[in-house]
Structures are given as structure tokens and as C-alpha cells.
Amino acid sequence: MQLRYNYRAYPDAAQCRALAKAFGCARVVWNDCLRDRKQAHAAGLPYVKSADLSRVRITQAKRTAERAWLADVSAVVLQQSLRDLDTAYKNFFDSLSGKRKGRKVGPPRYKSKKDTRQSIRLNTNAFSLKDDGTVYVAKVGNLKVKWSRRLPTTPTSLTVTKDSCGRYFLSFVVDTQPDALPEVETDTGIDLGLAAFAVLSDGRKIDSKRFLRRAEKKLKRLQRELSRRVKGSKNRTKARIKVARQHAKVTNRRRDFHHKASTQIIRENQAVYVENLDVSSLGRTRLAKSVHDAGWSAFVGMLEYKAVKHGRTFAKVDRAFPSSQICSACGFRDGAKPLHVREWTCNACGTVHERDHNAARNVLFEGRRIVAAGRAETQNACGAPVRRAHVPAQRGEAGSPRKSPSTQAGIPGLRSGSTSSWEA
């Protein structure tokens, strides 16, 4: 399986200029190739092949006066930008034909130098890990990196990213074998909510941290300062970076919380079942800010890939399953209930239920039934996959491996006996 590990990089002034040039060249190649394909499509011509684009927009363009500066960056950066465009088109075509499941994917769009996120992607021919702890990037130099954890094996690709607040990150993709945890006899169902972030079927509750709500006061002040600055001025740029840094802190705290909670659940249970919520639709209601602040989709994604990594069973119960209407004691369906009803009594058996705990127990029972029946979907499902599938490398940080021998991959000072401050 593939995992992605993110590390903070600290380039010097010359390296920042070299990276900015690499970001710009990769963006120009993307836009030029995209423009050629759009113009060919508008003229009714066949789809322009990647080999033709590589020859015209990269090899020959370097010999022209208008694009001579493309030779100042690594050729791998330019070729990978074209490959990323091919991947974007493939995802678009697969979405149109129905091969790609999930939300529809739109066609590729032009990139701008004003985008809040700039990145380049490299293969093993254009980067290497040095013994002194730095990472060599072709035509950029040796980047200083903060190694927060070990790499389990030699990486296969590297993505260098600059975010909206000016921070640089190195994202390594590694191919690893699943690290199966010892089997346990417990399993759990999870009901996600807003009052409590998650309620487990055994009655335990994970409190909602409300990271965005807690930071709103400071964010409002920074947004007011930004709105007062003159557009195009240096002070406005400084104010924008302050706002971006505050949002980054909120994101980091939420991600850290998700990693710790999902890791604990995966380690304590052999099987995990969760309801497949329609987060995109809930994000258009009056509860949108609270829904996005909770980050349910990211949390469920972590549960899914960690279950594959550690040999656990993971299943999604379809959102149409009436988990809040069924009595978990006798199975009697008591009808729909408004959200303000947090406790109710079953009319059949008289059991008093706490709404979220009862829903978590029903999710557990339905998840067991799905796995036992061997079906990939519930009977009334809208396409909720249950069987284990290939999980691609996540965009977020994968976290540290468990205490086990691993390849150091050229990172000094991180011996096999050392561990990071937290594991995910």
C-alpha cells in the first residue's frame, strides 16, 4: 500500500527563488499543454498526444527566446507537470464514462501564479536523501528538513509544496507492507454528530473540539485588518499571510485531533463501522460551518486507510439506514424524530434510549450484518463501498509507523529505537 509523509522544509533565500522559478515553469507547461488541447477540441481535431506536447511545449520551447528560461529548471519538473495534466484528463474522461465512482470530476483548468498553493512533483531521478539530513532537489539544492518521524522505506516520489502562508513542505510517497496489529475481540459502531464529535456503540463519547469556533474571535479581528488594507500594497500582503497562518493553525489542530482519535479507535477494535453521511449536502444547510468544522469526511478517510494498513475490518453503513428510528434493544422501528429529541422511550419494549448511543449500536448491528452477508452495499444503498479496496496515498500526513525495525532511508539522528512524540 502507499502512504504519504509530510515534512516541513526550510529553504534559504536562493532556494526559495529557485523553487519559485520551478513552480512557475511547471505552471506554464501545464497551461500551454492545456491550451493546445482545448484549441484542438474546439477545432474538431483529434486529442493531442502527450508525446507531441512534450516535444513542442518542452523540448522545442526551450530553444525559443520566449521560453528559454524553461531550461533553468529540472526537466523532470516539466515532464511531471505534463503527466499530471494527463492524469487530470483521465479522471475527467473516466468520470464522464462512469468508470470513476463518486462525485463528478470537471475538466482541467488553467493555473494561476496567484493560487494559494504552488507545487511541483519529482520522481527519484530528481531528488535524493542525503546523509546529513538534507534532501537534494535537482537545480534547487540541498533543502533543510525537519524530520519529525522516520520514513519506513525509500520514497518513490516527492512533491514540494508552498502553501498560502509561505511555508514549504516535502511530501514523500512510499510503498509499504500492511502493519497488522494483534487481533482483538471487540468491534464498534460510530455515530458522528455535532454536539459530540463521535459516539461509540459502547457508550463512549468523543467531545467536539470546535477548532474553528474557538478561533473565530481572532480570525474576525485579522479579517477586519485585512479589509482595511489597500489592495496591492505590501501591508495587505502581510495581513493576508496573518489570516492564512491562523487558518493553518486551525487545520493543523483539527488534523492532529483526527489522527489521534482514529488511531485509538483502530487499535482498540477489530472492526469499525460508520455511517456514510452526505457531508456535501449537509454543508449547504444552516449547520454548514459546524459541519465543516467537524471534518467528518477527513476523519472517515483516516479510519478507512488505517484499517487497511493495520489489518482491520472497515465498513460504511448507508446513509438511508434509519439508525435513529430503530430500537437497538428489540428492533422496533419507532418512526422519525426531530433533532431536538435527544432521549426517547421505545413504545414496544419500554427501553429508554439516548439518541446518539442508540444510533451507534444500530450502526454496529447493521455493519456486522453487511460484513457477514458479504455484500458490498446495503439493500437500500446508493453506492457505499464496504469491501476493502486499494487505498491511495492520502494528501494529509500519514503519521509514524509503530515500533518496529524500519529503513532509515538516509535520515541521520533517527535510529530504529527512537520514536516520535505521537503516532497516528
**What average pLDDT is seen over the chain?**
87
Asked whether the beta carbons of 348 and 175 are under 8 A apart, the reply is: no
For the segment 344-398, what is each residue's pLDDT rounded down to a tens digit?
888 888 888 888 999 999 999 999 999 988 754 333 333 444 333 444 555 555 5
Residue 339: per-residue pLDDT: 82
Grid coordinates in use for 361? 449500536
Q: Check if 275 is active-site.
A: yes
Cα torsion angle, 238, 239, 242, 243, sign = negative
Per-residue pLDDT of the chain (424 residues), as tens digits, is 889 999 999 999 999 999 999 999 999 999 999 999 999 999 999 999 999 999 999 999 999 999 999 999 999 999 999 999 999 999 999 999 999 988 899 999 999 998 989 999 999 999 999 999 999 999 999 999 999 999 999 999 999 999 999 999 999 999 988 888 999 999 999 999 998 999 999 989 999 999 999 999 999 999 999 999 999 999 999 999 999 999 999 999 999 999 999 999 999 999 999 998 888 888 888 989 999 999 999 999 999 999 999 999 999 998 888 888 888 888 888 888 888 888 888 888 888 888 899 999 999 999 999 998 875 433 333 344 433 344 455 555 554 444 443 334 444 333 333 333 333 3
Residue 395: per-residue pLDDT: 55
Asked whether the beta carbons of 326 and 284 are under 8 A apart, the reply is: no
Residue 279: per-residue pLDDT: 87
For the segment 87-138, what is each residue's pLDDT rounded down to a tens digit?
999 999 999 999 998 889 999 999 999 898 999 999 999 999 999 999 999 9
The model's pTM is 0.83
Q: Which of 128, 152, 156 is nearest to 140 (CA)?
A: 128
Residue 414: per-residue pLDDT: 38
For the segment 387-402, what is each residue's pLDDT rounded down to a tens digit?
334 445 555 555 444 4
Residue 397: per-residue pLDDT: 52
Asked whether the beta carbons of 14 and 141 are under 8 A apart, the reply is: yes
Residue listed under C-alpha cell 477586519:
224
The C-alpha atoms of residue 222 and residue 248 are separated, in whole angstroms, by 14
Give the type of residue at 302: M
H/E element holding 173? strand 168-175
The C-alpha atoms of residue 253 and residue 261 are separated, in whole angstroms, by 12
Asked whether the beta carbons of 327 and 283 are under 8 A apart, the reply is: no
Calculate what percentage of the chain has a pLDDT beyond 70. Answer: 88
Asked whether the beta carbons of 147 and 131 are under 8 A apart, the reply is: no
Q: How many CA atoms lie within 13 A of 276 on its CB side?
A: 21
Q: Check if 366 is active-site.
A: no
Residue 415: per-residue pLDDT: 36
Q: Check if 179 is active-site.
A: no
Tell me which of 32, 187, 275, 318 is the catalytic residue. 275
Tell me which of 32, 187, 191, 397 is the catalytic residue. 191
Tell me which of 187, 293, 304, 356 is the catalytic residue. 356
